[in-house]
Amino acid sequence: MKVVIVGGGFGGLRLARKLNNKPGFEVTLLDRFNYHQFQPLFYQVATAGLDASNISFPLRKVFHNSKNVRIRLGELKEVVADQHLIRTSLGDMEYDVLVLATGAGTNFFGNKALEEHAFPMKSTTEALQLRHTLIQHFEDALQARDSAEMEKLLTLVVVGGGPTGVELSGALAEMKRYVLPKDFPEIDFSKMKIYLLEGSPRTLAAMSEDSSADSAKYLSKLGVTVMTGTTVQDYDGETVVLKDGRTIESKLVIWAAGIKGNMPAGIKPELIARGHRIKVDQTNKVLGTSNVYAIGDLAYMETEKYPNGHPQVAPVAMQQADLLAANLKRIESRSGAKHIQTFSYFDKGSMATVGRNLAVVDLPKNKMHFGGFFAWMIWMGLHLMLILGVKNRLFVFMNWLYNYFTYDQSLRLLFNNTKPPKRTAYVKALPERRLEEVSAG
């Protein structure tokens, strides 16, 4: 069975590993990048807490001893389901089974001004660009012409009160408290402002009310101004305009307010659900097809428990990959084809960290909730387990340990003294760059 998997994220990589060295399968894993990215820790790369190499793992290294999995570095252009092939930047690829695991990107909800000027954080390279810009702004603040210019450079706006927004806001607040006054003693950081804007009535809206309340309390304790029920209408690179008419002067807006599926061309419009997700049945097969599947953030599966689709989180993608691997083995063996199983998500809980010794955890069993130091330890332990590679886990743990005792990190590096390029031009060039080139500035 010739299986083509598009996307090396949590779902795609998990499926390839489950089919690795299994007789009867020839697997091709196609991705734009030659490394797996650990998305939950992008915010720590962006705030100089971790190096990009600590959360990135070469895809080819995963399959050093593989006899049937091959990696191809390229971009999916179009799905041609009726011909059982995909068009890619490398040419056409035929398949017996196609699995779309392209994940999700940033959703600016059609706002072109925000798309041009705000910073997303959905890839390692975007996190690196954000880190570069953040540090450069503090350097620029030393040369600010007046107090108004200084205020814009020292005001940071994070849009989106989900886990990414909450974790990033907390990390920025800890930089302000422990690190930046030592790096830039000439600047009065009591004037630095960090805003977290959320359109819904509370932060961490997908979690319990207790977690929402605790996260808002922790952020307030760290000095973050949390504004719920607040929608951003416009941003020109210097002034944030809110829907109610209020404005915030800032030269750095970080967008963590929404995601949408990375939809390939060739998918019929009637199969595209809200959020640019592909409609699938309960085996993750794309509706109306015989051998095309979608898993993870891209898949939209309606069930009684999840009428609006499953949450777009890593555990869903990994569990769908596990089930699909088992079903493909049944199909390949033929004798087990009649015993195809349907997907049922086992929710083990959700969590988010806000800062040092501050995190929240929700467990569905008995609807348990707890926060503080114990929740923070659980958050760190789980993330360490999920990172690929023993070396990466060791480096991340050492960085966290060092940072815990010293309140500092040594990753705030600018490799050139030129100002960062305009965000849109930079992002368009990224797929053609190697990670090490981006890391080197």
More confident residue, 167 or 441: 167
pLDDT at position 375 is 94
Enumerate domains of the chain plus CATH numbers: 2-32+74-106+260-339 (3.50.50.60), 112-257+349-439 (3.50.50.100)
Q: d(Cα 156, Cα 294) in Å, to the nearest integer?
A: 37
Other Cβ atoms within 10 Å of 221 Cβ, number: 13
pLDDT at position 9 is 95
Other Cβ atoms within 10 Å of 428 Cβ, number: 9
Q: Does residue 229 have a pLDDT over 90?
A: yes
Surface-to-core class of residue 95, CB atoms within 10 Å of its CB (0-12 exposed, 13-18 middle, 19+ buried)? buried
- Model confidence band, residue 337 (pLDDT cutoffs 50, 70, 90): low
pLDDT at position 426 is 44
Q: d(Cα 51, Cα 74) in Å, to the nearest integer?
A: 25
pLDDT at position 333 is 86
Residue 71 C-alpha from the chain's centroid: 22
**Dihedral sign, Cα of residue 201, residue 204, residue 210, residue 216:** negative
Other Cβ atoms within 10 Å of 35 Cβ, number: 21
Residue-wise pLDDT tens digits, 66-90: 999 999 999 999 999 999 999 999 9
Q: d(Cα 251, Cα 260) in Å, to the nearest integer?
A: 25
Q: d(Cα 49, Cα 355) in Å, to the nearest integer?
A: 12
In 34-151, beta strands by DSSP E: 35-37, 56-58, 69-73, 76-80, 85-88, 91-94, 97-100, 104-106
The residues carrying an active-site annotation are 167
pLDDT at position 439 is 43
Surface-to-core class of residue 397, CB atoms within 10 Å of its CB (0-12 exposed, 13-18 middle, 19+ buried)? middle
Which of 440, 426, 434, 325 lies closest to 12, judged by CA?
A: 325
Residue-wise pLDDT tens digits, 18-68: 999 999 999 999 999 999 999 999 999 999 999 999 999 999 999 999 999
Helix (H) / strand (E) element for 426: namely: helix 423-429
pLDDT at position 421 is 52
Q: d(Cα 320, Cα 301) in Å, to the nearest integer?
A: 11
Q: d(Cα 78, Cα 64) in Å, to the nearest integer?
A: 29
Which of 248, 257, 312 lies closest to 114, judged by CA?
A: 257
> Which pTM does this prediction carry?
0.89
What is residue 342's three-state secondary structure? coil
Q: Does residue 149 have a pLDDT over 90?
A: yes
- Enumerate the β-bridge partners of residue 232: 242
Q: Name the residue type at position 115.
A: E
Q: Does residue 6 have a pLDDT over 80?
A: yes
Q: Does residue 428 have a pLDDT over 60?
A: no
Residue-wise pLDDT tens digits, 358-385: 999 999 877 899 999 999 999 999 999 9
pLDDT at position 434 is 46
Which range (69-73, 257-261, 322-326) has the least confidence? 257-261
Q: Does residue 419 have a pLDDT over 60?
A: no
Mean pLDDT of the chain: 91
Surface-to-core class of residue 304, CB atoms within 10 Å of its CB (0-12 exposed, 13-18 middle, 19+ buried)? exposed
